[in-house]
Amino acid sequence: MENDENDRYRAPALDKGLDILELLAGIDGGLTQAEIAKSLGRNANEFYRMLDRLVKRGYVTRLDGDRYSLTLKLFGLAQLHAPVRRLASYATPLMRELAETTKQANQLVVFDRGAAVVIAQQEAPGYWGISIRVGSHISLFNTGSGHVLLAFRSVEERDMMIGEYEGRTEVKAEPAQDFFGRLEQIRARGYEMMPSRQMAGIVNLSAPVLGPDGRAIAALTIPYVTIINMPSAPDISRTIQLLLDTSRRLSSLAGLDLGTS
């Protein structure tokens, strides 16, 4: 924490809250009130009210016992900022190219404050295709996009995302053993492939857009339909490869550009 006595506009309470958030951002598993105080060189009693307010405002959660950890609220607020708008902007030409080469529609989804939200979509170039409106909220538990957003996150982050999602939607997850086992399979395979649970005849193909730290910042998804009147359309195996190529290109852009502002 900076200590500039010439700063006429210091706000000690705000500084204290920001110190806590910045400290917890670099810690896995959370810290106790005493550990926070020790790390910041303060008295533990100084942080009781501040932690209470951060918990009530949803920026910090209290784990079992007396440990505090960041929620994903700051991450959700960040989705409103320029990096995600730039991600959608960068993605548009690549998504258009993907639609042209696969003859399929595609969409880009991020996790935002307890919801999986479509931030960009590209329609199929032909007469037929599946599209979803930008701004739509979709499920974390029964969509390819939701599975990918969870699969390429740490266990702790998954728990927080699911907790925020369930708190917002009052929808409970699948049985933990089966569901989390599937997420590990997706992570190992590098993508999700699943029959749509919303519409018959569609196979959701989803791949992660990864940030510089290797965590999913978005999911790129093709709701694949078999096109019988276009023999030149790629089959599902080729479509998966084209999807993965595009997601890697987007991940490269995210690593080089989106984290710099």
Q: What residue ranges define each of the domains in the chain, with the CATH number in brackets?
A: 12-71 (1.10.10.10), 76-258 (3.30.450.40)
Helix boundaries (H) for the chain: 12-25, 33-40, 48-56, 73-78, 82-102, 144-151, 155-169, 176-189, 236-253
Residue closest to 191 by CA, chosen among 141, 128, 147, 142: 147
Quote the pLDDT of residue 11: 80
Which pLDDT belongs to residue 123?
92
Q: Which residue has the tokens 């932690």?
A: 51
Is residue 248's pLDDT more than 50?
Answer: yes
pLDDT (0 to 100) of residue 209 = 94
Band of the pLDDT at 249, cuts 50, 70, 90? very high
Does 128 have pLDDT greater than 60?
Answer: yes
Q: Per-residue pLDDT for 261 more than 60?
A: no
Report whether pLDDT(196) > 80. yes
In this predicted structure, the answer to whether residue 230 has a pLDDT above a threshold of 80 is no
Query: pLDDT confidence of 8, banded at 50, 70, 90?
Result: low
Instruction: Considering only residues 41 and 147, tell me which one the structure prediction assigns the higher pLDDT.
Output: 147
Tell me what pLDDT residue 1 has: 45
> Cβ(91)–Cβ(114) under 8 Å?
no
* pLDDT (average), residues 12-41: 85
| CB-based contact 204:138 (threshold 8 Å) | no
Q: Is the pLDDT of residue 154 over 80?
A: yes
153 against 253, higher pLDDT: 153
Q: What is the largest CA-CA distance in the chain?
A: 74
Instruction: Work out the pLDDT band at 175, boundaries 50, 70, 90.
Output: low
> What global pTM score does this model have?
0.67
